[in-house]
Amino acid sequence: MHGVKRVRQTPEATAAAKLREQSKIEEYLALTADVLSKKASGDWSRDAFNLTTRMLQINPEFYTVWNYRRNILLRGIFPGSSSTEINDLLTEELSMTTVALKMHPKVYWIWNHRRWCLENVPDGPGTDAEGDLNGWRKSYWDRELYVVDKMLDADARNFHAWPYRRYVLASMPVARSETAELAYTTRKIESNFSNFSAWHQRTKLLSSLWGNGKLDYSKSKEEEFELVGNAMYTDPNDQSVWIYHRWLMGAGDDKEVLDREIAVIQELLDEQSDSKWCMESLVYYKRLLLKKHPSSLDGDLANECRRLLNQLQVLDPARRRRYQEIEGVNLVQGFSTCTRWAYKRSWGAEVRQCRCCWATRTYLAPQLQPLLPQLAWETGVWVVCGRGGQRGRWMREGRGRTVNIVGELDARSGSWLMWVAGV
């Protein structure tokens, strides 16, 4: 633990600790062998069930034992039990897993077992004639939502609890309103703007509410811009806020919104001159303007993007190649989906090979244009091409294999862009 001074143990104390550890290991191995032996022989008894309890209290990640425990319930205990007894057993199972989650909140198998318990709640407590078949289920699911609330109060970014919450909300016999859940995410975000999971939950809720016409799209979207704007000014370096803002902006079809948000971010950058996320967002949105709303100011926008990208290379050197890729190849052409590029240089040429799809992209500096149509590289690859701007090039490897490529001349930068498949 941090801040706790390490105490040197005597040789006798170390030896005693090793003996205790060895004893625990032997006990664990014996218990494991006993449980797996009973599983192999198809033992669905109460004794076997109690053994799984002991095993899972020691090691809750032993998913084979969780599966065995469920089989004991289904094959050995439930068949001879009444609905009330089954309900009581499932209550005990949920209590056991609640205790386990307090110690191990991110173990998949505990969450999975809770799902199984909730999905096997019997009809009751009333009869079909009384019309109360979902009484137990309603009680369980309401209680489960309360448990998830408490888990998220303890750790607001528990990546197991948030998807589990969506599962609970989708499974409740009496559905909770999406507007109530939206208010819940608002409370979580206002208590901690960096809660990415709450922002993500909000995107799902708003998409549904807008799609179903339950919220006024224009009005609520402006309210969302106000909320995320406050978060941006509170902590400009919080990535989750900028990702949510990008989701709100969408494909950039609304030029008025694009211009307005660019102005807002520029104002924030004027106050926070070293904000990486301000710069990245300005580049992203200005590229959207270039792509979606071309105008006579495109040259100025492109120059502004290049200036910001150069600043980002200094501010964030770990991603320097990414910014170079955007500046040198994809600034106007589009938005790249491949980002894992390997680089080789030769005489001002750059060969960029994607480690995901093994496509090769070649960038030639403008001064190399006169060297075409035949250019040799130290990599053993050369290009045979005709007049500039023509598509349908051919590339020949050192081993003599010829591969069809597609290339074009970038009129803005004078650079030759090629996309090569299968190399």
CB 101 within 8 A of CB 131: no
| pLDDT given at position 7 | 65
Could you tell me which of 253, 333, 266, 332 has the C-alpha nearest to residue 299?
332
Banded model confidence at residue 167, pLDDT cuts 50, 70, 90? very high
C-beta separation of 123 from 133 below 8 A: yes
Q: What is the DSSP string of 280-296?
A: HHHHHHHHHHHHHS--T
3-state class (DSSP) for residue 168: helix
Token pair recorded at residue 230: 């406050």
First to last CA, the chain: 51
307, two tokens: 């200036």
Q: What is the per-residue pLDDT across 265-303, written as a single tens digit (0 to 9) for each?
A: 999 999 999 999 999 999 999 999 988 888 767 678 888
User: Which residue ranges make up each domain of the chain?
Assistant: 341-420
Is the model's pLDDT at 12 over the cut of 50?
yes
Tokens of 377: 């590289």
Q: Contact at 8 Å (CB) between 243 and 232?
A: no
Instruction: Tell me what percent of the residues of the chain surpass a pLDDT of 90.
Output: 57
- Asked whether residue 68 carries a pLDDT value surpassing 60, the answer given is yes
Q: How many CB atoms lie within 10 A of CB 422?
A: 11
pLDDT computed for residue 8 by the predictor: 73
Confidence check: pLDDT of 139 > 60: yes
Percent of the chain past pLDDT 70, that is, above it, reads: 73
Note the pLDDT tens digit of each residue in 345-402.
333 444 444 433 334 444 444 444 444 433 333 333 333 333 333 333 333 333 333 3
DSSP summary character for residue 327: H
C-alpha 185/C-alpha 196 separation (Å) is 11
User: For tokens 């008894």, what's the residue?
Assistant: 45
Please count the other Cβ atoms lying within 10 Å of the Cβ belonging to residue 121.
21
Give the Cα separation of 198 and 188 in Å (integer).
7
Judge whether residue 35 has pLDDT over 60.
Answer: yes
* Predicted local distance difference test score (pLDDT) of residue 53: 96
For residue 135, what pLDDT is reported? 87
Distance (Å, whole) CA 196 – CA 202: 10
Q: What is the pLDDT of residue 134?
A: 82
3-state secondary structure 200-214: HHHHHHHHHHHHCCC
Rg (alpha carbons) of the chain, rounded to whole number: 31
pLDDT band at 197 (very low <50, low <70, confident <90, very high): very high
**Tokens 């992203």 found at:** 284
Query: Which ranges of 83-158 does DSSP label H, i.e. alpha helix?
Result: 83-103, 108-119, 135-154
Q: Strand ranges (DSSP E) for 32-94?
A: none
What mean pLDDT is reported for the chain? 79
Using the predicted structure, report yes or no on whether residue 2 has a pLDDT greater than 50.
Answer: no
Q: Residue 134 burial (CB < 10 Å; 0-12/13-18/19+)?
A: middle
| CA–CA gap between residue 275 and residue 236 (Å, rounded) | 7
Q: How many CA atoms lie within 13 A of 37 on its CB side?
A: 8
